[in-house]
Chains A and B, each alone.
Chain A
Amino acid sequence: MKKHDEGLKPTCREVHRLVSEGMDRELSLVERTRMRLHLIVCGACTRFNGQMALLRRAMRELPPPEVPGDTPP
């Protein structure tokens, strides 16, 4: 365990990491619970969580449709 992950209450540093790792692996029940409880009370991490979701959605839409007439003939 890293030094920031050991407290009773998770820090933003831990929760940011969990938000990202949660996109790549299944978090443990303990990790999920720590993250969710923190997100309820933390605006910064909630925003970060939303930004990560947007980033994923955007990547799945690549390449975006070009505007008609935008491509050279």
Chain B
Amino acid sequence: MTATLTLHHQLEAMRPQLVRFAQLQLRNEALAEDAVQDALIAVLEKPERFSGQSTLRTYVTGILKFKIIDNLRIATRERQIDCDDDQSEDDVIDALFIADGHTRDMPRPWGNPDDALEQKDFFRVLEVCLEKLPAKTARIFMMREWLELDTDEICKELAITTSNAWVLLYRARLRLRECLDLNWFGKRAVE
């Protein structure tokens, strides 16, 4: 009983953060709340499945990802994905290169990756950068890199071509690279 209460308490503490990530992916607050609720209930109903081999956070996140993937599949069937944003996004690519195809600027060194990944604030900046992406770009990028779906599956869910998906993912990475460079790595270089 006490163990269940503790688990309940731990899960509640994680809820706000999980909702934020679900919302980044689903772009809909109600759907995000539902997905997190489903995930937390699934854990509470079968607490014995959590073997303690991973952290509780990793375990719950894994379940949440499955719930979100289910949800995306239903949502895809029910409504057409909005294809509008990103019309001017060729600029994101063009801005990086000069006419002969060389990079305009040398990218700033980002240092040892482990240094960034050990810092909680780095992930806060990443989260803000993800929020700033155009909705469709964010969805497809999160599907690929957070839910770890392969491109074929994403194309099926979103009814887009593979080449379209590659371009959208490329643009998402360029935007995130720039956002992290400005708001994390650049600021640290100055200090």
Contacts and interface: CB of A to CB of B under 8 A. Distances in A.
Interface of A: 4, 11-14, 16-17, 20-21, 23-25, 43-45, 47-48, 50-67, 70-72
B135 interface: no
A63 B18 contact: yes
Contacts of A62: 21, 61, 123, 126-127, 146
A35 B13 CA distance: 45
B166 A65 contact: no
Interface string B159-191: 000100110011001101100110000000000
Given A20-B166, A47-B109, A53-B113, A58 B123 contact: yes
B113 A44 contact: no
A52 B97 contact: no
Given A24-B151, A24-B166, A50-B110, A66 B101 contact: no
Contacts, number: 111
Nearest 10 A-B pairs (CB), nearest first?
A11-B101, A59-B145, A13-B101, A20-B170, A64-B123, A47-B107, A71-B13, A44-B103, A54-B113, A13-B97
A4 to B, nearest CB: 5
Contacts of B13: 71-72
B59 interface: no
Contacts of A50: 110, 113
Contact of B166 (A25, A54, A67): A25
Nearest to A24: B151
Given A21-B166, A25-B166, 19 more contacts: A13-B102, A20-B169, A20-B170, A21-B170, A44-B103, A44-B107, A47-B107, A51-B110, A51-B177, A51-B181, A52-B177, A54-B116, A55-B173, A57-B117, A61-B117, A65-B120, A67-B120, A70-B120, A71-B14
B41 interface: no
Interface string B96-112: 11001111001111100
Nearest to B173: A20
Interface of B: 13-14, 17-18, 20-21, 55, 57, 61, 93, 96-97, 100-103, 106-110, 113, 116-117, 120, 122-123, 126-127, 144-146, 148, 151, 162, 165-166, 169-170, 173-174, 176-177, 180-181
A4 B180 CA distance: 27
Nearest to B106: A44
A14 B103 CA distance: 11
